[in-house]
Amino acid sequence: MLKSMTGYGKGEASAPQGSFTVEIRSVNHRYGEVSVRMPRSFMALENDVKRLVTSLLKRGKIDVYVQWEEATATGAIPQLDPAVARGYHEAFSRLAEELQLTADLPLSLILSQKGVIRDSPVSTIDETELQPLLFSAVQAAVTAIDAMRTREGEALECDLLARRGQVAEWTGRISGRTPQVVAEYRQKLKLRLEQLLEGNEFDEARLAQEVALMADRSDITEELVRLASHFNQFDETLQLAEPVGRKLDFLMQEMNREVNTIGSKSNDAELATLVIRIKAEMEKMREQVQNVE
């Protein structure tokens, strides 16, 4: 079962003290690289968060974003500082007297000044106590992104199997065409000799020798056998439960090598066309394999 390296997942967990929101994004990467961004007060738990993430996500560039929102204390009463309020009142009264203003000073003006009203002290939170809550949010996000990567992997597998089937069909046509190419070469060479010799007899043994040399130079039996073996390994690898992206990438390299050799040995227009089609299709397969975990 294939998994894609691209995905997104979000998890949340809340308690009376507050709530965690965890977002995870992943993209293609040759190895597994996890980056965690979280509030400084929870940095001691960074390695634990990474272990939770890598328990399911084995490969890709993975970015983890952790947000903590503390709950607003219920029943908290703002604290009034009478001394500060009195100071503002006295200052405003003196200013009004100097400016010969008779309007009364509104209470709202005094209360709006800095330091007159203060919020209740913020409660101290024990990060160790919140560890299970954080891990719960991380686990939810990991499960969500893993599910998305699995769905993407299923789509990749269907596409790869379809392209693999097309490549196998064209390879079969090459295999069937090869003996015919040798026969056509013999016929063309014989016809040319007859034209050059203008009806005179020619050495049949020499003709057979030339045809045999041509057949040996263009023989692609070994390449076709190895290519078929790579196809089988490719199909078997798709069924493995473990991450197989690197193995598939290696097999694609080996398959391309065999196809290139077949192309270099082909001296027939139809074979050359089939080789070009195969190489184009395998390039698309290689691009898809780059997305596999």
Measured at the CA of 32, the angle between CA 283 and CA 48, to 5 degrees, comes to: 160
pLDDT at residue 80, as a whole number? 83
DSSP 130: T
pLDDT at residue 16, as a whole number? 86
Domain membership flag for residue 254: yes
The secondary element (H helix, E strand) that includes residue 9 is: strand 7-15
C-alpha 282/C-alpha 166 separation (Å) is 10
pLDDT at residue 189, as a whole number? 60
Domain with residue 141: its CATH number is: 3.30.230.40
Query: What are the backbone angles phi and psi of residue 166, rounded to the nearest 5°?
Result: -65, -45
168 and 185 in a single domain? The answer is yes
C-alpha 55/C-alpha 35 separation (Å) is 15
Measured at the CA of 204, the angle between CA 200 and CA 206, to 5 degrees, comes to: 110
Domain membership flag for residue 1: no
Over residues 86-106, the mean pLDDT reads 82
103 and 18 in a single domain? The answer is no
* Domain range enclosing 33: 7-73+128-149
pLDDT at residue 182, as a whole number? 61
Over residues 238-262, the mean pLDDT reads 93
C-alpha 137/C-alpha 150 separation (Å) is 20
171 and 282 in a single domain? The answer is yes
Asked if the model's pLDDT at residue 199 lies above 70, the reply is no
Q: What is the mean pLDDT of the chain?
A: 85
**203-227 tens-digit pLDDT:** 666 656 665 666 556 677 888 899 9
pLDDT at residue 71, as a whole number? 79
**145-173 tens-digit pLDDT:** 999 999 999 999 999 999 999 999 999 99
163 and 262 in a single domain? The answer is yes
144 and 182 in a single domain? The answer is no
